[in-house]
Chain A
Amino acid sequence: MWWLNQAVGLVVKIFLLPFTGLNPWAGMIFISLVTAILMLFIYKKTSNQHGIKEAKNLIKGYLLEIRLFQNDFGVFLGGLKRLFAANLRYLANNLKPLLVMIAPIFLLLAQMNLWFGYQVPQRGETLLLKVEFNQSVEVDRLDLEVEAPPGVIVDSPPVRIIDENEVDWRLKIVDLQGGQLVIKNGGEKYAKDISLPLTRLARLSTIRVSQNIWEQLLNPGEKPLPREAEIKKIEVVYPSARLNLFGLKIHWLVAYFVLSIIFGFGLKGWFKVEI
């Protein structure tokens, strides 16, 4: 799984690297445009374009039928039934491209979350470090220590939450250098990235997870923890980011979907794609 996440991550990084110094909207617009073009291409190649066109024509025809014969209840009901069937046919024609696209889209969204989901904390801000252990571990008996990179200090004693198998610390950012946190559990050591880049758009990995595939898909920022580790998850809780649109705070996912749809519909004529 890790190699796949790394490969997708590299592609996204190549796309977004020129935009790191710019307003995050620039990177968002670009990646929405690129993925819209890519999706149009996949859609064109994997969908039954003729079938989609036919289904859409049928839908238009039945809509007209309903409109024209709204005073004739029998024809009206028949029209509704046929409209429903045509819609099903349209959806069926979309199923194949949807199935083809769902996996890359999912991988892409997980990577985009690393770039657009969180913001770099300011100097003087505090962050929460959460370490979750396996069920069998008694967290109050552990001999734990956290080593922080330069510019980050461990600002509190650990808070051991026994019934949630979790130990938390407060980190304070004194300088934006970043590096790796090292969690020492007896003789074992586990690292966690703590990125504090100065660029306006930056990739921030919040969670390092176990070998669980689903967790890895959702959190592709770092290599998973070793299989034998007692730690299940290490998380640095960065402040969440929003895209600013004239004072309106927008979640990146909303912006991405709206932009992709706009680009998709705007470019479908150029690519001669029937959607």
Chain B
Amino acid sequence: MAKEKEDSSLSRRRFLELILSTSAGLAFFPKTGFLTTKGRHQTARKVLVLGLDGLDPVLTAELMKDNRLPNFKKLAAAGSFLPLGSSVPPQSPVAWANFITGTDPGGHAIFDFVHRDPKNYMPIFSASESLPGKHEIKLGDLILPLSGGKINNLRRGRAFWQILEDYDIPATVFKIPSNYPPVESRQKTFSGMGTPDLKGYYGLFNFYTNEYKTITEEYGGGGRVHDVFVIGNRVESRIPGPNNPFKKGNPETFVDFKVFIDPVHPVAKIAYQDQEFILKEKEWSGWKKIKFDFIPGQGVSGICLFYLKEVRPKFKLYVSPINIDPADPALPLSTPDSYSRELAKKFGPFFTKGLPADTAALENEVLDENEFLAQDELVYKESVAILEAELKNFESGLLFYYFSNTDQRQHMFYRFLDKDHPAYEEKLAAEFSPVIPRTYEEMDKVLQMCLEKIDSQTTVIVMSDHGFNPFRWGFNLNTWLLQNGYHYLLPGTRPEEVTLFEQTDWSRTKAYGVGLNALYLNLKGRESQGIVQPIEREILTRQLANQLEQLADPRTGEKVILKAYISREVYHGPFVDLAPDIILGFNRNYRISWNSPLGNFPRQLIEDNGQKWSGDHMSSPAVIPGSLISNLPVKLADPALQDVTAGILSLFGIKIPPEVTGRPIF
């Protein structure tokens, strides 16, 4: 029987428990009924938007020049190809929320992947919150919920497809980030980035091995190693599932499984529940259903992939994060509810987790580069198949379709394009440096398929939320605040041992960093133990911004932070007060470190990033704009994400609502 390894950090575990405890009630989220559509307006014009996450305009231009992206080139020749201004900060949830609402974060309240709770300074996910049911009956260890829980999408502002709906213009929006759970609409929408796995994480894989290995259960995801023993060519272990909302303390559920290994051949049979299948070494299983029971008659089902990495001399089995089953979703995935089931019926199981490719498995060397690419190729093929079907159904209105491959592969393979990257390996680079250009070529093929299937009335927009740049060095914001007298720890504390601000002396602390680009003042009246008087706020903010902008890396002489944005100056709208006080716009090659966002204080101010996650986009938006390519000429010289929204509305002849701050691009 497997014995789970202890997590590397108790504090981290506690943090995970805090943020994920609400996932226990996932079986009871009330489903919205099928929303009947009114008679749909047949639009003369159609708009197809391909959202290619992280498509970098510089690399795109280079590849177009080399004739490697003929369809991009064709599209640009018919209209425009321009850099597309990203959000502040240029993180995907923020940037896509800009596009969804046509505003900046002041209008949609998504400021970072991670926000903080001003009551306890703890990091919280910015995109959604899960609330358990309010009423329940307790019978010994048994809990009987009397009301369903709730999941709230924390993005504010109206989505552009809701505005289109007001005008009866049909829209299909597939996997756009920052739309989990999907906002109520009669349009066909499927949630994207931000959609958790069945455990409520952003992706938690399981790895079963008899080799010593440690993996960090990270920040809402990562993986778990299960020590297993091969006894008589048999392995027995269990797959962890969601927490049981029917049991006191919400313990984790499990599904037991067995692996039978052939005594000679590198092949094994895996058996659990009513599933039995054979895998050869280095083989993926395809999607397998798995059901976690809470009490008799109540449970949730998910889907996962098995990968038999090695049979001998060491046993290694990877099980992907358990995705929500689109055929029987335990959590809301689509509007209407039936859309998810329709897709599952037509295409079988498919990735539903927000960011599908398992970057954490590659990072932790559970999957190697080729194995990661094989998994991401499955994501790509599923996406292409569904897009092809949606294009056939695309008769009117708008179709938005999202691809994650560009983003995920650039994050993990940028080290092979950048010889100065601390994680650059020449031998591997020879094999994997073509991955990113090849991914762009795959996107060109997607565009080719679209161009072949659309008619002359269709406006095509290819867009990305941001570009990419190397992530060579990580900046420890909280260490800087500590060194410069803005943050204080309790006497006798060793800073490098602190996590989640556990030893912070809030009675002396003026500022702290939580999230990937955010800096908050410890403001009186806002933070629970705030000390900065509102009257001091302006001066302190400017002082911090100036100091941060002056900060140079002693090793390179380069500025670490190109621009420290004061949120009240760059954001507009009703939610500016919820924003961090300063947004860090990093210089090229720099980003926040791995430890700082969770309230840690590593010794070094600037660290080498030796990880495989080697490309990123936490910079100033000026450094990494997104891409905009359209077959209609763009009239703006410096378009930004929210301008595309205004442009789409104007194409359909809709008067731009006052809350949409973008300018029409067409």
Contacts and interface: CB of A to CB of B under 8 A. Distances in A.
B237 to A, nearest CB: 17
A157 B280 contact: yes
Interface in A134-175: 140, 156-164, 168-170
B276 A157 contact: no
Contacts of B234: 161, 163
B277 A160 contact: no
B262 A237 contact: no
Nearest to A140: B263
Nearest to A237: B276
Contact of B265 (A157, A237, A240): A157
B233 to A, nearest CB: 7
A158 B265 contact: yes
Contact of A157 (B233, B260, B262, B341): B262
Nearest to B263: A140
B277 A159 contact: no
Given A157-B265, A161-B269, A170 B278 contact: yes
Interface string B256-271: 0000111111011100
A119 interface: no
B267 A159 contact: yes
A169 B267 CA distance: 10
A210 interface: no
A175 B552 CA distance: 66
A126 interface: yes
B492 interface: no
Contacts of A237: 276
B278 A128 contact: yes
A156 B233 contact: no
A159 B276 contact: no
Nearest to A163: B232
Contact of A162 (B232, B265, B280): B232
A128 B275 CA distance: 10
Contact of A170 (B232, B274, B277, B341): B277
Interface in B219-242: 232-234
A128 B270 CA distance: 11
A159 B232 contact: no
A121 B267 CA distance: 23
A130 B276 CA distance: 10
B278 A160 contact: no
A160 B261 CA distance: 7
A128 B263 contact: no
A169 B278 contact: yes
Contacts of A160: 262-264
Interface residues of A, number: 19
B263 A126 contact: no
A180 B418 CA distance: 58
Contacts of B233: 161-162
A125 B322 CA distance: 22
Contact of A159 (B262, B274, B341): B262
A124 to B, nearest CB: 10
B412 to A, nearest CB: 30
Contacts of A163: 232, 234
Contact of B276 (A128, A140, A240, A247): A128
A126, A159, A170, A240: most-surrounded residue (chain B CB, <10 A): A159
A128 B260 CA distance: 14
A116 B269 CA distance: 27
Interface string B581-602: 0000000000000000000000
B260 A161 contact: yes
A156 B311 CA distance: 15
Given A160-B263, A237-B276, A168 B232 contact: no
Nearest to A247: B341
A178 to B, nearest CB: 21
Contacts of A240: 274
A162 B233 CA distance: 9
Given A157-B262, A237-B276, 18 more contacts: A126-B277, A126-B278, A130-B276, A140-B264, A156-B280, A157-B265, A158-B262, A158-B265, A158-B267, A159-B265, A159-B267, A159-B268, A160-B262, A160-B263, A160-B264, A161-B234, A162-B232, A163-B234
26 contacts: A126-B278, A128-B269, A128-B278, A140-B264, A156-B267, A156-B278, A157-B265, A157-B267, A157-B280, A158-B262, A158-B265, A159-B261, A159-B267, A159-B269, A160-B263, A160-B264, A162-B232, A162-B263, A163-B234, A168-B269, A168-B276, A168-B278, A170-B277, A237-B276, A240-B274, A247-B341
A-B pairs, 7 with minimum CB distance: A157-B265, A170-B278, A161-B260, A159-B269, A159-B262, A156-B278, A157-B267
Interface of A: 126, 128, 130, 140, 156-164, 168-170, 237, 240, 247
